[in-house]
Amino acid sequence: MTFAPLPLSEGVFFLMETHMKPNYCLGIDVGGSHITLDLVDADSFELLPGSTVREHLDTHVHPSAVLDVFERAIRACASKVEASTVRGVGLAIPGPFAYGEGVCRITPHQNKYEQMFGVNFRQYLSNALDSADKPVVFNNDAACFALGEYFRGGAQGFKRPVVVTLGTGFGASFLKDGRPQSTGDDVPPGGELWHVPYKTGIADDFFSTRWLVAEWQRRTGQTIAGGKEIAQAALKGDATAKQIYRTFGENLAECVAPWLAKFGADAFVIGGNIARDWDLYVPALEAGLAKRLAHGIAVKPCELGEQAPIYGAALALTLVDPADVTPGPLPAGFTGLDALVAKLSASPQAILDGPADAPWKPLVAALDAALRAQGKKPVWFDVNAARSGEGFSVDDLANIRPDLQSDLSVVAGCGSSKVLWPAAETIRL
């Protein structure tokens, strides 16, 4: 709410109360067995009270069933405010995923989303807000955690923070002015640290609960349930437990310092379950960084906990131009749309192939809208999920599998006819 001065006469004013229209971003944190949704005010960065929606998610069922859970949940969350005040949807979703395209690249062998390889999430979910102009953006869960801390938590106010999570694994994100960095000489490959070589293995082997448990067993010959029990022992004065945590902090400093220096990081922000044991290892971490970094760095805890990915997923919408992630209209003069719709309607499976320079994104969006107007809800697959170098991966082409429970499955893009769907109608532009 603001107050605008309006003149009554020369030199005399009264204050008129004006109401600024709210501006909400809808964020989704995609977990292994559920999804959590919230509305975040894009101006105040506050969660809207009462907007939380939580839905069970079975990732092992067919694509249309998975996508319908997302669509229903988005509609339920967005319905809590006026439709025009929701600017878009942001998702924190685990990979492999073609985040820029909104296409799943999780293979059938990864024990989650086994039937989803190549599925165009963006196209399906773009219908949930009943507007093709509202963006649907995707980021990995570690990046969204970091973005949440950047906008609202422990990384707030820093220009180049590195945000890590320490728990069952070692997650990391390098942020430059609020944007995750994944390429360049100043960040590790992919902008992640888990795979960085360290000592006899990789960083993930040393900066997770697994290492704490293994180190306890190595030093004592005893098994222990987890890191929590080692922390409790350390707090009670157990010398071995205290030394394990000191070594953890020293190792962490040794591993990350070169990358913090290359990146010019001004903050190292730590979250995850092991962050709770702050006093047991952070003094050793800070001492190790002080020895290795020419310039000082702030070491801070994350502040948002499990809410960080929701904030990050939602507020990532503020970092994108909607025109970059929405399909836009078909080019003027494009013909044959009705004929394509008729052909697609005639079969439950279709392969849509054509030249690389065809207007694929607006075409798929236009076909989807026309088919939905007929009562069909297509599941679109992007053949580019199977691209490898200049060609295609044979294994990944085989991973693109039709949804036998959907109204219609369509694999689209240049080279789609390489996908082996024997029952599908092949259509060429």
The answer to whether 36 touches 28, Cβ cutoff 8 Å, is yes
Burial grade of 201 (CB within 10 A; 0-12, 13-18, 19 or more): exposed
Which of 31-35, 116-120, 212-216 shows the lowest per-residue confidence on average (mean pLDDT)?
31-35
Indicate whether 12 pLDDT > 70: no
**C-alpha to C-alpha distances, 144 to 92, 123, 264, 271, 426, nearest whole angstrom:** 6, 21, 21, 13, 39
Q: CA torsion sign, 335 to 338 to 341 to 345? A: negative
**Helical axes 308-315 vs 141-152, angle rounded to 10°:** 90
- pLDDT > 90? residue 17: no
- Given a cut of 80, whether residue 400 has pLDDT beyond it is yes
Residues paired with residue 89 on neighbouring β-strands, in sequence order = 26, 136
What CA–CA distance (Å, rounded) separates 153 from 144?
12
Tell me the residue ranges of DSSP E strands in 324-372.
349-353
pLDDT at 168: 87
DSSP at 307:
G
String of DSSP letters for 26-56: EEEEE-SSEEEEEEEETTT-PBPTT--EEEE
Q: Residue 98, Cα to own-chain centre: how many angstroms?
A: 10
Read off φ and ψ for residue 202, nearest 5 degrees: -125, 165
The torsion angles phi and psi of 167, rounded to 5 degrees, stand at -170, -120
pTM for the complete prediction? 0.86
> Is the pLDDT reported for residue 19 higher than 60?
no
Question: Closest by alpha carbon to 270, among 145, 135, 158?
Answer: 145
- Return mean pLDDT, the chain: 93
CA 89 to chain centre: 11
Interval 88-98: pLDDT, tens: 999 999 889 99
Please name the amino acid found at residue 71: E
- Burial (CB < 10 A; 0-12, 13-18, 19+), residue 272, is buried
Residue closest to 285 by CA, chosen among 301, 262, 272, 273: 301
| Percentage of the chain modeled with pLDDT above 90 | 90
CATH topology classification for 25-136: Nucleotidyltransferase; domain 5 (3.30.420)
pLDDT at 386 over 80: yes
Could you tell me the residue ranges of all domains in the chain? 25-136, 154-302, 337-428
Assigned superfamily of 154-302: ATPase, nucleotide binding domain (3.30.420.40)
* Among the listed residues 245, 242, 238, 170, the one whose alpha carbon sits nearest the alpha carbon of residue 201: 170
> Cα separation of 359 and 368, whole Å?
14
Facing residues of 170 across strands? 166
29 has a pLDDT exceeding 50? yes
Sign for the CA dihedral angle at 76, 117, 90, 203 comes to positive
Residue 266 pLDDT > 60: yes
